[in-house]
Amino acid sequence: MTHNLLKVLFVEDSEDDALLLLEALHTEYPNIFHDRVDSARTLGEALAREKWDVIICDHNLPDLDATSALRICQERCEDIPFIIVSGLISEELAASVMMNGASDTISKARIARLVPAIRRELHNKSAIHQLSDAREKINRIAYRDQLTGLPNREFLAMQVNALLNGAAPPPNLVVLAINISRFLQIQGALGIEAANITLQMIAERIQNCIGDSGLTARLGGDRFAVMLPGNLNNGAIIEKIRAIKQNSVQPLMISGHELFLNCNIGISVYPRDGRDFHELFVNAETAMRTARTEKRCNYLFFDSSMNSVDKEHLMLEHGLHRAIQEEEFLLHYQPQFDLRSGKLVGVEALLRWNSPAGLIPPAKFIPLLEETRLILPVGEWVMRKACEQNKAWQDAGLLPVPVAVNLSAIQFQQTDLIPMVRRILNETGLPARFLELEITENIAMHNEELIIATLTELRAIGVNLAIDDFGTGYSSLSYLNRFPVQKLKIDRAFVKDITDVKQECSIAKAIISLAHNLNLGIIAEGVETDIQASVLRESGCEEVQGFLYSPPMSPEKVEIFLANGAFDAENFGALIA
Ligand code: C2E
Ligand code: MG
Ligand code: MG
């Protein structure tokens, strides 16, 4: 027995019959709100006025028959139980109204069936509601990305495939694969929470650009995808992409830090680049990965030749895991000289991968080491190996000079960097002043306070610090006098720019005078010509490193320089032959 209010609408021409039915319901449902109608018009009005729990309909009314009443109810609000109670109803008619969606037909002679029928219908209705609530919840979880609220990969795939397999597939459809440049570093520097906020803000920015013209989804991590249906030509696609890029490069304020982000975008177009979501998306991602290595634009249309590049990428990644186990890495060293005296002043350790397929240059595998975070164990190996080697050279009585080791941003953010440096110096016995760490300018972009603290601790240990590839980063120069570094390395792009002795204002010159003003040491890398060397010398550059003097070499060959202690132009060829 239930005391909940039951709202019953009688479709019945006789007031007495309605009262009789109320009686029949009373024991089970003492709280009944009811109304009685007897025409199509009054039925329509009653449905508009109230949310009924059950409709009990007589079969033969002067102005309305049960089948029409049922249709009216279904048009208005489809899921109210509709029970026909009638004196005379043929088996055929009962079957026909049930087929049309009536919940039950009950003969007045067997009115005791009414209550169980209502109970059953109400129970079914609530079960159906629960089911559809659950289904909606499942849809929300199954098809939404929880962090950004955007649709997820499954939903996007479903929509794209539904469009392409539909009755009128669009003549053309674009899939964009988007990721954020250097997202791993940002996550490493700022932590998961700030990284999540970053993702939410980027999601919003992409979504703002796309709006209703397409569908934006997050596929996990920093990977997003967009579907643009409709007949877009390349110009219109590029316009959209420019909008996304422009929006996403606007600085973001995250936990008090100003972040400059960039994104890489790969584009694939139906039907040329794929016939379903899977093919289109895989190809868009391939284009995105290729775009990531493009310095200039960061977006590319898919082109089938990219697949071979992608395969190479996979092979490399596989190979790197093996390289660590099989000890296929080695270090080469490039000497650094004083530009005036020609004296050897240091060596830079540069990682080489001696893979079964030959020697692979760092530009190809270092980004992959960073992506997979394998740079952490490999970077530690590099530092240990370089320190061991330098100590061995000094123990052998060769000229003691610092060895420079490159630090990736990811290593710089690892929490145990300081203990690791201490440990390596201790274990190898190399005095700290003979280790120099090269960090790139982009490290300086995030979390300045933390970076200053780390650099200060490193200085306290006694190691030297240099900023590598100086001038190519995005950050402002204001950090320079706050960072306890000793040296700037002019990026070789600016050295390459020096083509003429009379060239008045090169960027290299500007960097040299900046370093002098800040009391920092300065070294130019990538020096290849005599003209470059003499312009650098005249501009006051102190040290050089480059093919003009020596390429990076095996430890055995570097020993000849260390024994000699200086650059010897005449014997140069003989020394490195
Ligand atoms: P980098 O630290 O700026 O190293 C200098 C690069 O310039 C080296 O390239 C070197 O071979 C090249 N180079 C030197 N002199 C000349 C020249 O006169 N002309 C030209 N065109 N190039 C010259 P490499 O060895 O291919 O290394 C490339 C980059 O890979 C390095 O740039 C560094 O950023 C990274 N790298 C190398 N070893 C390591 C490492 O152990 N750890 C990390 N994190 N990065 C490394
Ligand atoms: Mg370097
Ligand atoms: Mg460099």
**By alpha-carbon position, which residue is closest to atom 15 of ligand 1?**
546
**What is the pLDDT at residue 3?**
63
Instruction: Point out the ligand 1 atom lying closest to the alpha carbon of residue 491.
Output: 3
Q: Are 549 and 576 in contact (CB under 8 A)?
A: no
Q: Give the pLDDT band (50/70/90) at residue 574.
A: very low
Nearest ligand by distance to the CA of 333: 1
Instruction: Point out the ligand 1 atom lying closest to the alpha carbon of residue 405.
Output: 41
Domain that holds residue 170: 153-304
Per the structure, the count of domains in the chain is 3
110-119, 132-141, 244-253, 532-541: the lowest-pLDDT one: 132-141
Give the helix ranges, DSSP H, for 27-181.
40-49, 66-76, 91-99, 114-143, 153-165
Cα–Cα distance for residue pair 83/69, rounded to 1 Å:
11
- Let me know whether 228 and 351 are in one domain: no
Is residue 322 situated within a structural domain?
no
Is residue 44 situated within a structural domain?
yes
- Let me know whether 505 and 543 are in one domain: yes
- Let me know whether 117 and 174 are in one domain: no
Nearest ligand by distance to the CA of 550: 1
DSSP E strands, 504-558: 521-525, 543-545
| For residues 395-403, average pLDDT | 96
- Let me know whether 348 and 457 are in one domain: yes
51-65, 181-195, 278-292: the lowest-pLDDT one: 181-195
- Let me know whether 413 and 555 are in one domain: yes
Is residue 465 situated within a structural domain?
yes
Sort strands 543-545 and 329-338 into parallel, antiparallel or unpaired.
antiparallel
Which of 108, 141, 174 is at the close of a domain?
A: 141
- Let me know whether 426 and 463 are in one domain: yes
- Say which residues have a Cβ less than 8 Å from residue 545's Cβ, sequence separation at least 6: 334, 335, 336, 337, 348, 523, 524, 525, 526, 527
Query: Which amino acid, 232?
Result: L
Rank 64-68, 127-131, 208-212, 379-383 by mean pLDDT and report only the highest.
Answer: 379-383
- Measured in Å, residue 348 CA sits from the centre of ligand 2 at 7
- Let me know whether 282 and 158 are in one domain: yes
Nearest ligand by distance to the CA of 472: 3
Residue 550 in contact with ligand 1 by CB distance below 6 A: no
Is residue 315 situated within a structural domain?
no
- Say which residues have a Cβ less than 8 Å from residue 280's Cβ, sequence separation at least 6: 160, 173, 175, 268, 269, 270, 273, 274
CATH number, position 44: 3.40.50.2300
- Say which residues have a Cβ less than 8 Å from residue 418's Cβ, sequence separation at least 6: 454, 457, 458, 461
**By alpha-carbon position, which residue is closest to atom 11 of ligand 1?**
552
Please identify every residue whose CB atom is under 5 Å from ligand 2, which is an ion. Answer: 406, 438, 468
Q: What is the average pLDDT score of the chain?
A: 87
Render pLDDT for 507-521 as a digit per residue (tens, 0 to 9): 888 889 888 988 999
Residue 58 in contact with ligand 1 by CB distance below 6 A: no
- Measured in Å, residue 468 CA sits from the centre of ligand 2 at 5
Distance (Å) of CA 393 to CA 1, 119, 437, 559, 576: 95, 93, 19, 8, 18
Q: Give the pLDDT band (50/70/90) at residue 573.
A: very low
**What is the pLDDT at residue 445?**
56
Q: Give the pLDDT band (50/70/90) at residue 437.
A: very high
- Let me know whether 137 and 166 are in one domain: no
**What is the pLDDT at residue 283?**
93
Instruction: Point out the ligand 1 atom lying closest to the alpha carbon of residue 552.
Output: 11
Is residue 400 situated within a structural domain?
yes
Is residue 320 situated within a structural domain?
no
Q: What is the number of other CB atoms lying within 10 angstroms of the CB of residue 55?
A: 26
| For residues 472-489, average pLDDT | 76
% of the chain with per-residue pLDDT over 90: 48
Q: Is 201 left (phi over 0), alpha (psi -120 to 50) or beta?
A: alpha
Is residue 192 situated within a structural domain?
yes
CATH number, position 522: 3.20.20.450
Residue 87 has pLDDT above 90, yes or no: no
Residue 362 in contact with ligand 1 by CB distance below 6 A: yes
Q: Are 30 and 4 in contact (CB under 8 A)?
A: no
**What is the pLDDT at residue 194?**
86
- Let me know whether 372 and 448 are in one domain: yes
**What is the pLDDT at residue 550?**
94
Cα–Cα distance for residue pair 101/78, rounded to 1 Å:
9
Is residue 317 situated within a structural domain?
no
- Let me know whether 274 and 359 are in one domain: no
**What is the pLDDT at residue 59?**
84
- Let me know whether 355 and 504 are in one domain: yes
Which of 267, 288, 304 is at the close of a domain?
A: 304
- Let me know whether 130 and 163 are in one domain: no
Mutation to probe ligand 1, out of 293, 333, 525, 529 (largest number of atoms < 8 A from CB): 525
112-116, 296-300, 476-480, 523-527: the lowest-pLDDT one: 476-480
- Measured in Å, residue 335 CA sits from the centre of ligand 1 at 12
Which of 98, 115, 141 is at the close of a domain?
A: 141
